[in-house]
Structures are given as C-alpha cells and as structure tokens.
Amino acid sequence: MTKSTRSKRAYVETYGCQMNISDGELMEGILTNSGFEIVEGPENADVVLVNTCAIREHAENRVLGRVAQLNGLKRERPELVIGVTGCMAQRMGETLFERAPYVDLVMGPDGYRGLPDALENLEEYRTNRESRSSVRGPQLAILDLSLGENYQGLEQRRTEGPTAWIPIQRGCNHRCTFCIVPYVRGPEKNRDPLEILNEVRDLVTRGVTEVTLLGQTVNSYTFADLSFPNLLSEIAQVEGIRRVRFTSPHPNDVTPELVEVMATEPAVCEHLHLPAQSGNNRTLKRMLRRYTVEILLEKVEMVRAEIPEIALSTDIIVAFPGETDDEFRDTLELMKTVRFDEAFTYKYSAREGTPATRLPADQFVPPREAQARLEELIGVSRGIRAEVNAGEVGRTDEVLIERVARNPGQILGRTRRNKVVAFNGDSVRIGCYTQVMLETTTGATFAGREIGQPELVGGT
Ligand code: SAH
Ligand code: F3S
C-alpha cells in the first residue's frame, strides 16, 4: 500500500473537568508536533480521540453512547481510528474493547507521550494485516500509571485567547472514599516550577493575561522547598499576568500563608473554590475528607476576614451511602451558614473499586430519595446564589472579555470574582479588560453596561 502524502488529521473530543480540557490540549500539542493536523470535527478525521471522564457513571454512559455514534463513521470509512483516552479509559481498560469492539486504542492519562507511537503501531499493524487478511484489526491498550511520567517538555496546543489552563500537579494523594481519581490518575506528581514559570512567561508573549493553575488538590503542591503559596506569588508577579486563579484546592491546605498571598498579590483573583462535599461530620469522616464542619467554617471565616470581597464556590455530594435524612439536612444548614456564591451539586455515584462501594448494601440510599435530596439541595443553593447575586446588582467590576455572548451584538466576560456578565460590545474586544456595571441578574449570571472607555491590553 502506498502511504498518502497529506498529513493525517486528528480530532480530539473532550469530556469532563478542566484538567481534561487541558489534557485534550496536550494531546493536540503532541499530535501536532509529530505531524498531525488537528481538525474541528470527526467527519474528516483519520483519528478520533474521545478524551473521557470517570467521575460519575453518567459521564461514562455518555461516552459509550458517543463512541457508538462514531462507529457509524467507521462503517463508512473502516480505516478511521477510534481512540478512548483519559480517566474512563484508565478505569475500564481492556474491558472497553468488549463494551465497544470498534474502539482501536485505549489510553490512560499517563500514556499521552506515547500517543504518536501507539498510532503508528496501529497503522503498521493494519498495513501488514492487509497482506495477512485477518478479520479484525489490533486493539491497543496503554494503561501504565507511571510515577516517572512528569509530563515534562510536552507542549499544549492552546486555542488563542486571553485565558489559559496550566496543570501544575497531576494525580492525588488523598483517598476520599467516593472518588475514582486516585485510581485513574495515580499519586500526586508536581511539576517543576521553573517549567511552569517559563510556560507562564511564554503565554504572556502570546497575549494571555489570565492563568488558572490546575491540580486535584492544587494547593498541596510542593516542589523541593517551594510551597503552593510561594509558587502562586511568583506566578502572580510575572510581568503581563493580570489575573491568577487556581482549582481545586483541598480545604485542609487553605492555610494562613495561602490566604495571605491571595490577599496581598493583586493578580490573585478574589475567588476560592472550597469543596465541602457534606455538612455533616459523620459523613465527612466516612468520606475520609480529613476535616470537620467546624474546621471548614474556620477556613471560611479566615478567608473572609482577610479578603472581604472573596466569592466562594463549593462541591457537594448528596446520598453518600449511609447518609441519613438528618445528616443531609446538616448539608443544607452548611449552605445556609456559608452562603456560597455557587455550588456544584452531585448525587453520589458508585465507582467500582472505590472504598465506598464496599459499604453494606442496605446503606445505599434509594435512587428516588437521592434524587429528592439533590433537588432540594439545588433549590436551596440556587436560592442563595440568586440572593447573593441580587445583592451585587449596582456594583461596577473589572471584566475580562472572553467571548461573544449568545445574544447577537453582545460579548461576555468574567469579573475577578468569577461572575459571568454579558453586555453590548464587539468581538474584536475579546481579551480586553473593561469596567462593567452589573445591571440585572438572572440569579446565575449578569447583564451589564460598560462604564467609561475600554482598556486595551497586551501593549496593543
Ligand atoms: N479534587 C478534585 C475532585 C475531582 S472530582 C478536583 O479537582 O475538583 C470533582 C467533584 O466531583 C468532587 O469534588 C465531588 O464533589 C464530585 N465527585 C467525585 N466523585 C464522585 C462520586 N463518586 N459521586 C458523585 N460525585 C462525585
Ligand atoms: Fe478525589 Fe478526594 Fe483527591 S475528591 S481527587 S480523592 S482529594
């Protein structure tokens, strides 16, 4: 068979968290560097990679549906390579080939460096197969979780824009009993700060002014004797960086040192994600979260005392096995006490292999009850969010314009406190900072009006 001369086209479709979005960019970078062209859809691609999430069963079912759909393309073009990468690939491993026989490649998060080789191996095998005329192609599973893989030297392919995600840590050393992450991403590995800082400086030259540092417990980052607060302050001081965010911190590592850097470095934004998970001490203990409600509330007080403007968001799980109705009510109480600006709420989802799945079967909360708790929690947290946001109408805040809004003629951006605002404006202004008065709120987002002259950034 003659090799085609055009470069191969790859399409990466990402599901899940910011770390996964960032990994998707990493895979695109690795593929670009080895000669692939990245395309924006599966139709014309030679290789389609579905970059997956394993955090809840629902996320995995969506992917299985999507891969089956992609098999439709493969029926028309049998040479299409379908790969499943990321956390679900790691979790399911070769069993994915049984569930979805049309998948050619399964690759966990520590395998990305070897992506071009893996694709080449598949291609070679297929070429040889033609002469051997075997019925089905090879399937390749790359699932090693490697302490040695520090992702050093790998470059992300970033879409142009004023904001960028920067992974500074991978994996997790905690073992929250509901969570699959430590099993699919391995133990915590922190990146060399010199490389991180170089990347930040490089991003500045490409027009980035806002960076978000990523890690599973991002604030437990350490490298030699450099702590997370040290790194945060160094990044905040890079010339040209105007905003720094980070996610997700673990409450236990929200220390006075961190709060001091947040309070004193002008670039660090007034927003903190503080995943509480539950408002009940017995549940927190059984989740192995390693803090109590009292400790969490102390953290909230400390942060609010030092940074009165701080906006707080959280993650909550309802119906953890064994959670009683009273214990669930404690979570509602916590919401009312703290009044988070935003809450991401989830129904417990059993993840095979995690300790919580081994709790006695009769402790599992019936689905209807779990759904009722979730709906009640959503009602309470949205109500609080609407009240908090209504109280902010009339403020004038700095907004970084990120993209065009859904309404024609409008653009959309975020305040330092992570509130989304839409207002009249032209898309040429994406990347600019401007002052916007928050005029109305839907409860979740704002509509605003620009005050004064728009400011241009990046020396333009
Ligand atoms: N530290 C990580 C946590 C990742 S999971 C981070 O970067 O945010 C994100 C959120 O998903 C968790 O905070 C938790 O609220 C939720 N979650 C994790 N495992 C879950 C499960 N088995 N069922 C339901 N929700 C879960
Ligand atoms: Fe998961 Fe807990 Fe780590 S939620 S990512 S095991 S801190």
Pocket test for ligand 2, best of 20, 174, 250 (most atoms within 8 A of CB): 174
Q: What is the CATH number of the domain that holds 374?
A: 3.80.30.20
Rounded to the nearest 10 degrees, how much is the dihedral formed by the CA atoms of 150, 153, 156, 160? 140
CA distance 55 to 109: 14
Is the pLDDT score of 129 beyond 70? no
Residues 304 and 413 grouped into a single domain: no
Q: Please check whether residue 405 is in contact with residue 422, taking contact to mean a CB–CB distance below 8 angstroms.
A: yes
Residues 227 and 197 grouped into a single domain: yes
Q: What does each C-alpha distance from 358 to 18, 100, 131, 289, 321 come to in angstroms?
A: 29, 28, 50, 17, 10
Question: pLDDT > 70: what percent of the chain?
Answer: 95
Per-residue pLDDT band for 268 (boundaries 50, 70, 90) equals very high
Asked if residue 357 is part of any domain, the answer here is: yes
CA distance 325 to 232: 40
Pocket test for ligand 2, best of 176, 288, 344 (most atoms within 8 A of CB): 176
What rounded mean pLDDT belongs to the chain? 93
The pair of structure tokens assigned to 406 is 């859904």
235: left (phi over 0), alpha (psi -120 to 50) or beta: alpha
Asked if residue 149 is part of any domain, the answer here is: no
Last residue of a domain, one of 388, 412, 429: 388
pLDDT at 460: 39
Last residue of a domain, one of 339, 356, 388: 388
Is the pLDDT score of 28 beyond 70? yes
Q: Which atom of ligand 1 is nearest to the CA of 349?
A: 23
Ligand 1: which residues within 6 Å by Cβ? Answer: 55-56, 178-179, 181, 216-217, 248, 275, 277, 315, 317, 346, 348-349, 351
Asked if residue 217 is part of any domain, the answer here is: yes
pLDDT (mean) for 156-160: 84
pLDDT at 138: 82
Pocket test for ligand 2, best of 172, 247, 287, 315 (most atoms within 8 A of CB): 172
Residues 169 and 135 grouped into a single domain: no
Q: Report the run of H or E that residue 93 belongs to, with start and end.
A: none
| Closest alpha carbon to 9 in 79, 70, 58, 65 | 79
Q: What is the CATH number of the domain that holds 109?
A: 3.40.50.12160
pLDDT (mean) for 347-352: 97
Residue 76 Cα to ligand 1 midpoint, Å, equals 38
Residues 373 and 421 grouped into a single domain: no
Per-residue pLDDT band for 135 (boundaries 50, 70, 90) equals very low
Q: Convert the pLDDT of each residue in 395-445 to its tens digit.
A: 999 999 999 999 999 999 999 999 999 999 999 999 999 999 999 999 999
pLDDT at 155: 84
Residues 293 and 226 grouped into a single domain: yes
Is the pLDDT score of 2 beyond 60? no
Q: What is the CATH number of the domain that holds 441?
A: 2.40.50.140
Residues 308 and 402 grouped into a single domain: no
Residues 69 and 51 grouped into a single domain: yes
DSSP classification of residue 285: H
pLDDT at 134: 43
Residues 89 and 206 grouped into a single domain: no
Asked if residue 156 is part of any domain, the answer here is: no
Asked if residue 416 is part of any domain, the answer here is: yes
Q: Environment class of residue 78 by beta-carbon count within 10 Å: exposed (0-12), middle (13-18) or buried (19+)?
A: exposed
Total of domains in the chain: 3
Residues 261, 264, 266, 272, CA torsion sign: positive
pLDDT (mean) for 273-288: 98
Asked if residue 153 is part of any domain, the answer here is: no
Residues 222 and 243 grouped into a single domain: yes
Domain limits for position 239: 163-388
Is the pLDDT score of 244 beyond 50? yes
Q: Which atom of ligand 2 is nearest to the CA of 288?
A: 2
Per-residue pLDDT band for 456 (boundaries 50, 70, 90) equals low
Residues 66 and 209 grouped into a single domain: no
Residues 319 and 421 grouped into a single domain: no
**Ligand 2 and 233: CB distance under 6 A:** no
Residue bearing the CA closest to ligand 2, atom 1: 179
pLDDT (mean) for 78-90: 96
